[in-house]
Chain A
């Protein structure tokens, strides 16, 4: 069976989001299918400027074809247009204009999808909100499978997406909450789909003591891993954590791992270590008491799954329905809606080792049942087999 993955960016340097999700799935499913990837030459997700010079390459055994972005995104123009659309009544044409600005604008990619539909049995599109998915699915609706990676983002309410969600042959959702949201918006219950998500692997050995020694972290600490950004709720995390320290006198430190676009508070117990290697990251999670996940919008938090795989409890933002739902289903994490809930939940986790251990066990069991690669691969195979049965 020949399957084509279509995604906005692709490369070993891209280590997060839907792009990494796509690469992992493509690499794992290449055991069963003949896999190819169509993507753009962009690396920067803000401007989509052409970065990769080569048009054809092989990455970890997967043939990848890159197509040029004809017009890079102008963040100012895009921001103004998005603000206008969000705040005013608008027409469908405005939403199409927004989609063109959203990009990555690569008509050659869509032309190739259309021209080569005979070569592939199915096309798996990642991320509903980009140009390639929208026009790609319209080009080959009968052969398309959509991995929407949707969040509670206002743009999902655009009219153009309601029709889009009824077009593909099947959906691969990341969470039950994402499925409910998309079905509630578009009434696409007739389109088959399953909640799959993405698997992850944690190293066989990780050592919190090694992390402490290497980075000079002493005492108990909680950890945040990911882009340090207001969109990820980090500003609230700083505010709540410092207030928590003042009110409770807790000795816990906050360790931040990842690149930042926010100023880090100047406090002795807030440590920013920057971007770390995978081994250091896992060592850091291993040594932490709790993983903090303050993001408001997540379609599927890989680092949360990694923490559960390592038996660590999670404290998540309840405003993110996906995280809250996963915490409730796994019984592996708490969630907060206000500072008071943050304080009580974190205090409970930091002062009760038995509770941390029990939540860690639950998280690990939830991960094993739903997010190991065997489970994920079988779900993808079952979805495609289901499509083959119903012509």
Chain B
């Protein structure tokens, strides 16, 4: 088991980060491992390492080992020569290739069975789909007939609709014409009324304008009058003040003359 921090590779080759566990990632690794399994099977420990080497994958058999020297060696040499044509067959028997072949045959047999099952199921499905198709075709035919009938009916309806539209248009035109005439009459009446109102209003406005002009003249006169009154009043006020002053001087003179009179009387009576 490899271990790097919190990440660890399981015996089965799954890499797991224990701190940030990602189930989807682990499941993807499991799926990949399962998918790889059939490809890895021939390299299983059942097969010796040397038989799986690249030289075995080539078609030509390897040359026989050179015979040892002496009589025994000569006999072995003859034996090897005689047996040389059978060398590929010997190799085939000696190697575990037949096991792989048998395994392949078994797998093919199983696959055949599966295929037969699938074919049987597909056959059933095919017949079912066929029945559906036949039913659907019949329905399409019926639907086509109905569509044709529907089209005739739609044409008749279209003609009726055209007639109705034409009649409606004529009626609309008549209503439009009548409405226009009535609108013209109403328009003339309203115009007359507006002229009358306009004329009357103008006359009244002219009269009112003359009154206003006269009133303005009166206002001007009143304004002048007011101004003159103010001037006169101011003059009178000044005069009043002068007279008041003269009165006070004369009062003082009278007071002085009184006192002089009293003094003279005293002198006179002495």
Q: Which residues of A contact B (CB under 8 A)?
A: 327-328, 330-335, 338, 340-341, 344-345, 347-348, 351-352, 354-355, 358-359, 362
Residue B33 lies at the interface, judged by CB distance under 8 Å to chain A: yes
Query: In the bound complex, do residue B30 and residue A341 qualify as a contact, i.e. CB atoms below 8 Å apart?
Result: yes
Instruction: From B10-18, B50-58, B62-70, B229-237, give the one contacting chain A.
Output: B10-18
- Cβ of B116 within 8 Å of any chain A Cβ, yes or no, is no
Expressed in whole angstroms, the Cα–Cα distance for A334 and B30 within the complex equals 10
B24 adjacent to chain A (CB < 8 Å): yes
- Cβ of B16: which chain A residues have Cβ within 8 Å of it? 352, 355
A345 and B27 form a contact (CB under 8 A): yes
Given A347-B12, A348-B12, A358-B18, verify A328-B24 contact (CB < 8 Å). Answer: yes
B30 and chain A: residue at smallest CB distance:
A344
**Closest 6 A/B residue pairs (Cβ):** A340-B34, A344-B30, A331-B23, A358-B18, A331-B21, A358-B21
Q: Verify A352–B10 contact, CB threshold 8 A.
A: yes
Kindly provide the distance from the CB of A180 to the nearest chain B CB, expressed in whole angstroms: 17
16 contacts between A and B (CB under 8 A): A331-B22, A331-B23, A333-B23, A335-B23, A340-B34, A344-B33, A344-B34, A347-B12, A348-B10, A348-B30, A352-B10, A354-B18, A355-B18, A355-B21, A358-B18, A359-B23
Say yes or no: is B26 at the interface (Cβ < 8 Å to chain A): yes
Distance between A365 CB and nearest chain B CB, rounded to angstroms: 11
Contacts of B30 in A (CB 8 A): 334, 341, 344-345, 348
Residues on B with C-beta less than 8 A from A345 are: 27, 30
Contact indicator per residue, chain B 1-44, by CB within 8 Å of chain A (1) or not (0):
00000001011101010110111101100110110010000000
Query: B34 — which chain A residues lie within 8 A by C-beta?
Result: 338, 340-341, 344
Residue of B with least CB distance to A329: B23
What's the count of A-B pairs with C-beta under 8 Å? 49
**Complex interface residues of chain B between 46 and 93 (CB less than 8 A to chain A):** none
Complex: how many Å from CA A362 to CA B16? 14
Contacts of B22 in A (CB 8 A): 331
What 7 new A-B contacts, CB under 8 Å, besides A328-B24, A334-B26, A340-B37? A330-B23, A331-B22, A334-B30, A335-B27, A348-B12, A355-B21, A358-B18
Q: How far is the CB of B44 from chain A (nearest CB, A)?
A: 15
A354→B14 CA distance, assembly (Å): 14
Query: Which residues of B sit under 8 angstroms from A359, Cβ to Cβ?
Result: 21, 23
The residues of B that contact A347 with a CB separation of less than 8 Å are 12
Residue of B14, B27, B34 with most partner-chain A CB within 10 A = B27
How far is B12's CA from A345's CA once the two chains are assembled, in angstroms? 11
Q: Is the CB of A348 within 8 A of B14?
A: yes
Closest to A327 in B: B23
Chain A nearest CB from B6 CB (Å) reads: 9
In the complex formed, the residue of A with least CB distance to B33 is A344
Q: What chain B residues lie within 8 Å of A327 (beta carbons)?
A: 23
Closest to A87 in B: B128
CB of A334 within 8 A of CB of B23, answer yes
Q: Once the chains bind, are B21 and A344 in contact (CB under 8 Å)?
A: no
CA distance A28 to B264 in the complex (A): 133
In the complex, chain B residues whose CB is within 8 Å of the CB of A344? 12, 30, 33-34
Closest to A359 in B: B21
Q: Which residue of A lies closest to B14 (CB)?
A: A348
> Would B21 and A362 count as touching, CB distance under 8 A?
yes
Q: Which of B235-255 contact A (CB under 8 A)?
A: none
> CA separation between A122 and B264, bound complex, in Å?
128
Q: Which residues of A contact B26 (CB under 8 A)?
A: 334, 348
With the chains together, A341 CA to B33 CA distance in Å?
A: 10
The residue in chain B whose Cβ has the minimal distance to the Cβ of A345 is B30
CA distance A328 to B21 in the complex (A): 10
